[in-house]
Copies of this chain bind each other. A is one copy, B any other.
């Protein structure tokens, strides 16, 4: 058996011990900080002593799918192609959902490790990620959301509800993520996979700020599982797909720039098309409102005019051309619009007001998508070595650091 594999031009050593990479969805670093201060995360509180605590940048847009796929491919969206949940196909004039693995342009570290003979397991909270993360993978791969429908032939394992002893959680719950951790622990103890990838949902982070009772309870739950993985001898790497910020004013009202409405009022209907790639079938908790949008323009010669107009809107942090966005954020040019727009930290970008259902926002809007949500934790339960001081660390370095840099 070879001692290393090469995936997307990066090499990865075989796991020296069972290795678990966790992507904590929406883990603004302050959640961990506050849980530690509240005494609710004793394992993470002492991590710097025996492990390694780093900060990295996620990829933009700071959304779930682009970042989960970046983490498991060790590459940015320019390489793997997944830059949101939707892109606009200009040939067919349709908005295309990118959850299907046929849009994936790169192999995953997970699939290649399995191909190289390693036992690999993947557990996601929502089923929407399962197909992308499990693409080409021979091993265990299932979602907590559909854990009651497991088939050994398809998912590599069955009967997880019974093994774990938790009822099937609601897709909008903290328990959906807890199920992921419980499944990871059960797999670690019984199947002992060489490499495990666990990915949670940010339901809690969308609803609750760092330091609140609910957030601290969620991080306390994770902390207990992390401690158990550690005690079982696993190498543990913890990162996030993106951070999370309030997108409100001081009394919790959402601050939203409805970009399509503004553009229609200025340039007329049909002249531009705003795509919000955060849109997906599960939008109740954020109303499809994030701090990233991409804009397609019918008359290309008006691009600068449109860009200048958007840049002048209060709450807009940056407007980039396709070329600028692709260079700065390593995005695939054929899957973004003529412009990329980022909202400021406290502002979300909408399309048309009547396209957003805010009735599910029972608490002040918290969301992500922009550069304000780019800082994420990179935590390891081992000392690392051989990391260049000048290196810009990314969340998609998690596998590299956990496999190649153990001290």
Contacts and interface: CB of A to CB of B under 8 A. Distances in A.
Nearest to A246: B30
The listed residue with most B CB atoms (<10 A of its CB), out of A30, A210, A246, is: A30
Interface string A275-312: 00000000000000000000000000000000000000
Interface string A337-358: 0000000111000000000000
A48 to B, nearest CB: 6
A309 to B, nearest CB: 13
A167 interface: no
Nearest to A210: B209
A202 B304 CA distance: 43
Contacts of A193: none
Contacts of A37: 212, 252, 363-364
A253 interface: yes
A45 B54 CA distance: 38
A251 B246 CA distance: 21
Contact of A29 (B47, B53, B250, B379): B250
A33 B250 contact: yes
Question: In the complex this chain forms, how many copies of it are found?
Answer: 2
A32 interface: yes
A61 interface: no
A377 B47 contact: no
Contact of A33 (B31, B33, B48, B252): B252
Contacts of A27: 250
Contact of A346 (B55, B255, B346, B364): B55
Contact of A209 (B34, B253, B314): B34
A364 B53 CA distance: 15
A210 B366 CA distance: 14
A95 interface: no
A252 B375 contact: no
A251 B212 contact: no
Contacts of A363: 37
Given A345-B372, A363-B37, A249 B210 contact: no
Interface string A12-54: 0000000000000001011111101100000011011000011
Interface of A: 27, 29-34, 36-37, 44-45, 47-48, 53-55, 209-212, 246, 248-253, 255, 314, 344-346, 363-364, 372, 375, 377, 379, 392
